[in-house]
Amino acid sequence: MAKQAVKFTLSNTNEEGAHSKVKALLVGKPKVGKTTLATDFPKPFVIDTDHGLASVVDRGIPYLKLERPTKEHYNDTPCGYMDVRRALLSIKDRKGDLWEALGEIDYVPETIVIDSLTALSDYMEEELVINPPYEKKGGEETLQIQDYNLVQRRLFGIVNLANSLDMHVVCISGVEWTEDDRKKMYENPALTGNKLGQRIPYLFDDVYFMWYDQERKKRMLTTVPTRTFQHSGTRHKVPMKEFIEPDFKQLSQYYYGDK
């Protein structure tokens, strides 16, 4: 079927509020303060797959807790791709059970935090074992190439849906070492498959790398590509430097519309 002609309309990047919402990926090793920084953004709502909210439990931040998928609770507990998608659509459309639950506590989130994409990609992998979209020979539980492709498409779909919201979005990821074609080792976001961690940063306007200093006394954050992590960078006016004990106030002065 031939595609019908569509009408094109133009947008002006100088329009009030254009590019004012941050779409950021925050990468780092465990327990360097990624959740603390992400939830320092305005009125966060956390999609929690990592069960790592102990550091901010005293702040009373609302969250949706996802459990690791198992055959026993797959159909009655939030644990997979469709549950995350339904949650994001509920917020986007401002209707549905999640939006109603937020209304009951009189809370309108301004930031979506997905903590973390690493665990979420693992959940999606396990979900394909429990509920495969096609029949597998002999009930095998090992993933095939098409499974990894599906995990990638689903994770990209979740990130793109989150980024379509008129809200700040901060997605958290662990980090892992991978080898390139020249046998050189680099750090990439820790995600299912060999290529997903290299591709996911391109879905974000800002990619931050976070670590502790050598004495493990100060949290550090940078937008500058490091010797081992090449993906750091920003489309906003965040300076290319290292931030000490980063928080939203330090970063927001550089975001469009947040000065």
Work out the average pLDDT over 151-171: 95
Q: Which two tokens stand for residue 42?
A: 């305005």
Q: Could you tell me which residue, 183 or 11, shows the higher pLDDT? A: 183
Q: Give 104-135 pLDDT, tens digit per residue.
A: 999 999 999 999 999 999 999 999 888 877 76
Segments making up each domain of the chain, as ranges: 23-252
Rounded Cα distance between 138 and 160, Å, is: 35
What does the pLDDT read at residue 19? 57
CB 200 within 8 A of CB 25: yes
Work out the average pLDDT over 22-42: 95
Q: Which two tokens stand for residue 243?
A: 């931030």
Q: Where are the beta strands (DSSP E) in 93-190?
A: 111-115, 168-173, 175-179, 185-189
Task: Count other Cβ atoms within 10 Å, centred on residue 191.
Answer: 26
Q: Give 64-96 pLDDT, tens digit per residue.
A: 999 998 888 888 888 889 999 999 999 999 999
State which fold the 23-252 domain adopts. Rossmann fold (3.40.50)
Which candidate, 215, 216, 211, 248, places its Cα nearest to that of 227? 211
Which candidate, 112, 120, 107, 136, places its Cα nearest to that of 81? 120
Band the pLDDT of 181: cuts 50, 70, 90: confident
